[in-house]
Amino acid sequence: MKRVVLFLAVLGLVSGLYAQSQIPAYRFAAGNWQFIGDRLFQQDAKAGLAKVNFTVPQSNAMLYEFNARYEVGAEDGHGGFGIHLFGDAVIDKASWGSGNSYLLWLNYDENPVTKGIPKGLSAQVYRSYTHSWMELVDSVDLNEYAYLLTQENLSAPVPVKIIVDGNTGEVRVFDPRDPDLRDYFYFYLNSKDVPLKGNYVALRTNGMNLSFAMGIGM
């Protein structure tokens, strides 16, 4: 139950309710990003480190509301996307990490080379220290839910709500199947990193095209 909630939540990573004029200040760092209507598209399926940086002061309890829609890519057996939270710095070019931050990541890789990453569908939590240094904190094998990756499911945006308490490090990922978004999966970030504070969020994709809308608030 908890693992399928995590899968659906990360699958939905990044959406929301805000139009372009209402989103935080942003800078396209790598990849081919473009607003079309009220959605943000990353249109370079070959970009391995596509990224857009948002200026968002973050402390205490933060609410992130998301939906993402798969467009194309991953036909070569590899693709992923995710979001860096509570970043203290960003760089406006392709990079592995994103300053001091945590990365929530959904990954599909038929031949992973990183130790600890399962083959196929999985989700990861990374701790980023600099723009070039990240370490894997946790990884969850999600292959038992790979049957959900149908064209019909992938073509529909999935709503998501995530709350991160910067004072305790608790992360709550709410079940998007619940119409009231009350049921949630939770875990804790490293207690040595709390209280969490940061001024940036970095949204990124790897090897596929997606479109997003984003909402971030207190």
At 160 the pLDDT is: 66
- 87: nearest Cα among 134, 47, 149: 134
At 150 the pLDDT is: 74
Q: Mean per-residue pLDDT for 20-29?
A: 76
Say which residues have a Cβ less than 8 Å from residue 101's Cβ, sequence separation at least 6.
84, 85, 86, 87, 88, 128, 198, 200, 202
CA distance 195 to 25: 24
At 64 the pLDDT is: 84
Helix (H, G, I), strand (E, B) or coil at 67: strand
Greater confidence (100 vs 152) lies with 100
At 28 the pLDDT is: 96
At 11 the pLDDT is: 36
Question: What spatial distance separates the first Cα and last Cα of the chain, rounded to whole Å?
Answer: 28
Contact 190, 137 (CB under 8 A): yes
- b/e for 43-62, b at 16 or more Cβ within 10 A? bbbebbebbbbbebebeeeb
Q: What is the four-CA torsion angle of 154, 218, 85, 39, rounded to 10 degrees?
A: 40
Q: In the chain, pLDDT over 90 holds for what percent of residues?
A: 47
Greater confidence (12 vs 121) lies with 121
What's the CATH architecture for 2-217? Sandwich (2.60)
Least confident of 48-57, 81-90, 107-116: 107-116
Q: How confident is the model at residue 142 (pLDDT cuts 50, 70, 90)?
A: confident
Q: Mean per-residue pLDDT for 195-210?
A: 93
Residue type (1 letter), 10: V
Token pair in block for residue 148: 């959900």
**Average pLDDT along the chain:** 82
In the chain, where the domains are located? 2-217
At 214 the pLDDT is: 59
Over residues 59-103, the pLDDT tens digits come to 999 988 877 888 888 777 888 988 899 999 999 999 999 999 999
Q: How confident is the model at residue 189 (pLDDT cuts 50, 70, 90)?
A: very high
